[in-house]
Amino acid sequence: MTALVLDRTTDTRSQTQSHVVFTSVDARLMEHEGRNMDGEPKMTAAEFDALLPRLGRLTVDTVKIARSVLVDGQRPSEAAAQHGTSRQRVNAILKRVEEAAREFPTDWRRVDVWLPPELAAQVEEWAQRARADHAGADSGNSGAA
């Protein structure tokens, strides 16, 4: 099985571009059950590529399946047939992509560094606080239309 390993540390987009990408991706992913009536894809190739670092280690086939539905506009059942898998697996892949898109703001960066214990504890505390603030902001916006 071939795995695609992605670098999670590079993100050169500006905050304004990131916010726009996240908003449009988020809205399109909410309707991932098949394509629009006009066959319009759920996201652009650039939006999909921006999500890849958030997905962790995926097989090449998994990335192809997600891209075929979200970028190319295939229905999940069509993608399942084309890739020799079940519709349920395709929907699970789409759910994973959707969760990754919502987990963190797109302008956040992953940082892996070695620190003395006291600094590491402080950074971990900041990270927990930032995640809690982000989760609170998301839950506050869920009822907005």
Residues 76 and 130 in one domain: no
Query: What letters, b where the CB count within 10 A reaches 16 and e where it falls short, cover 12-46?
Result: eeeeeebeebbeebeebbeebeebeeeeebbbeee
Same domain, 101 and 130: no
23 Cβ contact list (under 8 Å, min separation 6): none
85 and 125 together in one domain:
no
Q: Going residue by residue through the chain, which has 145 residues, state the pLDDT in tens, using 9 for 90 and above.
A: 333 333 333 333 333 333 333 334 444 444 444 444 345 678 899 988 888 888 878 888 999 999 999 999 999 999 999 999 999 999 999 998 888 888 888 788 888 899 999 999 999 999 999 989 888 876 665 444 3
Task: Supply angle C-alpha 96, 47, 71, rounded to 5.
Answer: 75
121 shares its domain with 103: no
Domain tally for the chain? 2
Question: In which domain, by residue range, is 58 found?
Answer: 3-112
Q: Say whether both 48 and 96 belong to one domain.
A: yes
Sequence-distant (≥ 6) Cβ neighbours of residue 76 within 8 angstroms = 32, 33, 34, 69, 87, 90, 91, 94
pLDDT score of 139: 67
CB atoms within 10 A of CB 78: 17
82 and 31 co-located in one domain: yes
H/E element, 123:
helix 117-141
- The confidence score (pLDDT) of residue 51 equals 85
Tell whether 134 and 117 lie within a shared domain.
yes
Residue 41 shares a structural domain with residue 89:
yes
